[in-house]
Chains A and B, each alone.
Chain A
Amino acid sequence: MVLELQKPRPVWQIMFSTHHTDVGLLYLITSLAFLFLGGTLALAIRAELFLPGAQIIGDAMTFNRIFTVHGTTLIFLFIIPFASSVGNYYVPIMVRYKDMAYPKLNAIAFWMIPPAGALIWLGFADFTWYATPPYSIISAPGPAADMWIFGLKILGISSVLGAINFIVTILKCKHPDMSIGQVPLLAWSFLSSSLIILVAIPTFAAALLMLLTDRLGVSGFFNPAMGGDPIAYAHLFWFTFHPEVYVLVIPAIGMMYEIIPRFSRKPIYSYNSGVFAFVLLSIVGFSSWAHHMYATGMSFTEKTVFMVGTLAAVPASAMHVFNFVATMWNGRIKFSTPMMWCVGGIALFFSAGAGGVANAAMPLDFTTHDTYWVVGHFHLFVMGTIAFGSIGMLYYMFPYVTGRMYNETMGKVHFAMSFIGTVLVFFTQHVLGLYGMPRRVFDYPPIPEWIAMNQIATVGAMIIGISMAIFLANIIYSSGKGKLANTEDPFGVGGKYYYPFEAKNPHHD
């Protein structure tokens, strides 16, 4: 494991290393940097919507740019790289292999992320993370839009390379004595999400090329003026990005599977149901993409098929929740910071799922379509479940990465404020959606209910912002001056951990 702060070595040695813990560290630092950048944009959005009329952002175009880069950053440059960081640290150790299957490919996959992030941030496109056609083709200003397209293209290639590496590492490099049925659930989560990436990403890769050639005027796939169809883009986009939701959430659930048994001081209640639920989610993720498109004039039969396909994810998700609840049952639970984040994450996962059932039911979808309900639902998943699981995992990994312990009190304050803030922002946005407020708007009419709920959401966002500042201070201070951790049992819960520091890093000899 990388204990850089105890045994410093030149930065370039880490940057050009192909060892999985070094690449994991690079992923970790990069993803955290983008978390704070993307989060700052979220605060700007919420501050703007505190009251009707222009507040701190001058015009609608700038507002659109900010929320486009906010979404793109937090999904592609925080959540996915953070999961890759955890996978790099843990998967080779869990399958008892010396490194990832293809170490150089692993490093290349990481090094695609900074230039892609630079393209997205330097361009600052304005057409939403969906790259809405025909606007994105006809009038979205370049070179911002083109830079976004190239950035996403690079990130897609990086994801595919990473996915190949995880699949081969888990399936082909695991210890011969280890059957696939003994692979820990965290590694299973990476296997499932990597398989989804391999199947889903090529579709969007094709769509991006078509979008680019449409913008160049040499084709008209999605341009109605040239006989094209923007709805075709919607199909291609959602065929990739509905499964992508599971690519985001499955590793976070895998992280919870690592933390919850550890702090409950007993094994997971049902390993098999965890594996089954991962596999089931991977499959049904592909049967539900068009539930994003009920309002596009699909037939009754099509809508029914996709509604049933979407609801099929409910049992699989519920299996995870009940598995966690049953694992904690009769345990002796230590509520250290990572455990608190996971328990909070489960509660919000359940709430987000309940909202999702309403979205999936097609008649109800018409009442919530393109309203703030959708924003609240999606963010409850990405913030309430995925970010909660990820941040819990970060606290769990912290002693192994730095050799020091974070400040427990600050960690718990971070959790409490984030939990309250998340509920305030995203539960309120559900209600705001039922009141009819459309999403992706720069301004809104001065309806008293809308103003009140926007203000509650903004206050919640500020609470999250303050909690993230505490988090940043905690990790920076504790990395250098925190108490030295007992890396054999940093949380004092006993049992045998996976010890990332046992991975031999040749640079540490």
Chain B
Amino acid sequence: MKKFVGLFLVLAVLMIVPAVDLVFAAGDEPGEYLDRRVIIWNLFYRLMTVAFVVGTVVSGTMIWQCWRFRESHPNAKPTPYEGTDW
């Protein structure tokens, strides 16, 4: 589980860094509109790349665990709580 948490911490940092960049991509100064658009779309693609990576990891984890921990899996075994009034 620690590796699991560690992995998501790394992914969270990857998410936060471009978000911080985005703050500084916006501006109120006139005359820089076209450049800003280029920067913003660049950041959008970066953000989406990170989002898809994180999404793939999370979705992949969910799909795998739904397959692995389903009750009909050959290696499925009762949890310690079964048969109790947990």
* Candidates B15, B26, B36, B58; contact of A321 at CB < 8 Å: B58
15 new A-B contacts at CB < 8 Å, known A266-B81, A362-B23, A495-B85 = A265-B81, A266-B80, A314-B15, A321-B58, A331-B79, A332-B79, A332-B82, A343-B66, A350-B55, A361-B19, A363-B39, A364-B22, A364-B43, A367-B40, A495-B81
Which of chain A's residues have a CB closer than 8 A to the CB of B78? Answer: 265, 332
Q: What is the interface of chain B mostly: helix, strand, loop, or mixed?
A: helix
A residues touching B (Cβ–Cβ < 8 Å)?
A: 264-267, 299-300, 303-304, 307, 311, 314-315, 318, 321-322, 325-326, 328-335, 343, 346-347, 350-351, 354, 357-358, 361-364, 366-367, 494-496
Q: What 1/0 mask marks residues of chain B from 35 to 64 whose CB sits below 8 Å from any chain A CB?
A: 010011101100110010011001101100
Write the residues of chain B forming the contact surface with A, with a CB cutoff of 8 angstroms.
1, 4, 8, 12, 15, 19, 22-23, 25-28, 36, 39-41, 43-44, 47-48, 51, 54-55, 58-59, 61-62, 65-66, 69-71, 76-86
The chain A residue with its CB closest to the CB of B16 is A311
Nearest CB of A to B75, in Å: 10
Which of A267, A358, A496 has the most C-beta atoms of chain B within 10 angstroms of its own C-beta? A358
Known contacts A325-B61, A331-B79, A495-B85; is-contact A358 B69 (Cβ 8 Å): no
A350: contacting residue among B19, B58, B66, CB under 8 A: B58
Given the contacts A325-B65, A347-B59, A358 and B85 also touching, CB distance less than 8 Å: no
Q: Is the CB of B62 within 8 A of A347?
A: yes
For this complex, 5 residue pairs linking A to B, each with C-beta atoms less than 8 Å apart, are A326-B1, A329-B65, A330-B69, A350-B58, A350-B59
Contact pick for B71, options A314, A315, A333, CB 8 Å: A333
**Is A332 a contact partner of B71 (Cβ separation < 8 A)?**
yes
Min CB distance A492 to B, Å, is 10
Contacts of A333 in B (CB 8 A): 66, 69-71
Partner of B26, one of A266, A303, A346, A347: A303
Tell me the complex Cα distance, A495–B58, Å.
29
Q: Let me know if A361 and B47 touch, CB within 8 A.
A: yes
- Given A328-B69, A351-B55, A495-B81, is A304 in contact with B23 using a C-beta cutoff of 8 Å? yes
Residue of B26, B41, B48, B85 near A496 (CB, 8 A) is: B85
> Contact between B1 and A364 (Cβ–Cβ < 8 Å)?
no
Residues of A within 8 A of B77 (CB): 332
Complex-state Cα separation, A424 to B77, whole angstroms:
37
Cα distance A366–B26 in the bound complex, in angstroms: 10
User: Complex Cα distance A330/B44, Å?
Assistant: 37
A82 to B78, CA, bound (A): 34
Of B8, B26, B41, B66, the residue contacting A328 (CB under 8 A) is B66
Whether A307 pairs with B23 at a CB distance below 8 angstroms is yes
